[in-house]
Amino acid sequence: MTDRHIEVSLDKRDVRCTAKLLDDRAPVTCQAVWDALPLGGDVYHAKYARNEIYALLPTFALQEPPLENPTITPIPGDLCYFTFSGTELATKAYGYGAPQQETVVDLALFYERNNLLLNADVGYVPGIVWGQVVDGLDRMAEACQDLWRAGALGETLSFRRV
């Protein structure tokens, strides 16, 4: 199979990076994301995982992917896929309010090291590593730091085919 690539962007900040899909390690997840592209939504900066930005999306796969290529210690440039039930994210600690969907998909980009997917409420939260940034991570990491310091309001995280 030929390598597949996507563009990940912070639209308001006009910053983009390119990621390679890890079809050999997470084929079911990669195909589900690829088939649903383009995807995007309001961006959030992680409270618990550390150096992570993400968008919460309605489910888009016919069946949620299995936990393939899992990690609890994502590295810089990892794209991760998480699935959460609406009740998991409805507590006031997260700040989202009650999600409208039964299930929510979290597509995340990790931009720096020393991440640990440990949530004080539930313990370890493994994610599926389905992509790896191959170009533009430095620019994206700078924009993510700006997002952390200046705020995420009005910013969108988008995923598109290259």
Tens digit of each residue's pLDDT (9 = 90 or more) over 83-115: 998 778 777 777 666 655 688 999 999 999 999
Q: Which residue has the higher pLDDT, 121 or 61?
A: 61
Cα–Cα dist 58/96, whole Å: 14
As a whole number, mean pLDDT of residues 16-45 equals 98
Q: Give CA–CA dist 27/25, Å, rounded.
A: 6
Candidates 129, 125, 59, 119; CA nearest to 93 is: 119
Between 55-59, 94-98, 108-112, 155-159, the lowest mean confidence (pLDDT) is in 94-98
Burial of 147 (0-12, 13-18, 19+ CB in 10 A): buried
Percent over 70 (pLDDT), the chain? 94
Mean of the per-residue pLDDT values of the chain: 93
- Name the CA dihedral angle for 121, 55, 71, 26, rounded to a multiple of 10 degrees: 140
Gap between the Cα atoms of 55 and 158, Å rounded:
8
Query: Predicted confidence band at 142 (pLDDT cuts at 50, 70, 90)?
Result: very high
From CA 100, how far away is CA 130, in angstroms rounded?
Answer: 26
How high is the pLDDT of residue 19?
A: 98
Per-residue model confidence (pLDDT) at position 101: 62
> Token pair for residue 22?
């890890």
Output the pTM of the full model.
Answer: 0.94
Is it the case that residue 79 has pLDDT exceeding 90?
A: yes
Region 63-72: what's the mean pLDDT?
97
**Mean pLDDT, residues 15-22 taken together:** 98
Q: What is the mean pLDDT of residues 64-77?
A: 98
pLDDT at 117 over 60: yes
